[in-house]
Amino acid sequence: MRTANTPDDEPGRRADREQADVGHLAAVLSRRRAELAGHNAVIGGGEVVHALTEAVWAGVRVPAVPCHASADPLRLRPTDAPVSCRRCLRRLAGRDHGVPEGQLTLDAAAPPSGPDATR
């Protein structure tokens, strides 16, 4: 039985183990990014095809889906099928930051026009 004072719990050894864990995680995530490069993705056993972008996770660039349906890059499976996730498609088109369909744009930089413009 281990106690709190066993040699394995010395601060230096613990830091070495943590550093090794971080290094392993970084290697796994980098490899995953390379495996998914140039593909779309399916999450787990799902059927919806998601677009792929990149995010920074634990200090490493990793594949991510723009719709944020999964935060775990290890659940992503590569596919060459076209994107079917509507949220991914909207985000890729920039519509989540733009104007919804059917609504006129408001250009705050444009000079006022009309009969009240001179007041």
Environment class of 73 (CB within 10 Å of its CB; exposed 0-12, middle 13-18, buried 19+): buried
Residues with Cβ < 8 Å from 14, sequence gap 6 or more? 8
Task: Decide if pLDDT at 111 tops 60.
Answer: no
Q: What's phi and psi for 31, nearest 5 deg?
A: -65, -40
Residue 48 domain-assigned (yes or no): yes
Asked if the structure places residue 31 within a domain, the reply is no
**Count of domains for the chain:** 1
pLDDT single digits (tens) 25-82:
888 888 999 999 999 999 999 999 999 999 887 678 889 999 999 989 999 999 999 9
Is 16 a member of any domain?
no
- The Cα–Cα gap between 99 and 42 comes to 29
Enter the pTM of the model: 0.62
Do the domain assignments include residue 45? yes
Q: Is residue 119 part of a domain?
A: no
How high is the pLDDT of residue 9?
Answer: 61
| Residue 88 predicted with pLDDT over 80 | yes
- 73 domain-assigned: yes
Per the structure, the complete domain to which residue 44 belongs is given by 39-96
For residue 92, the model assigns a pLDDT of 85
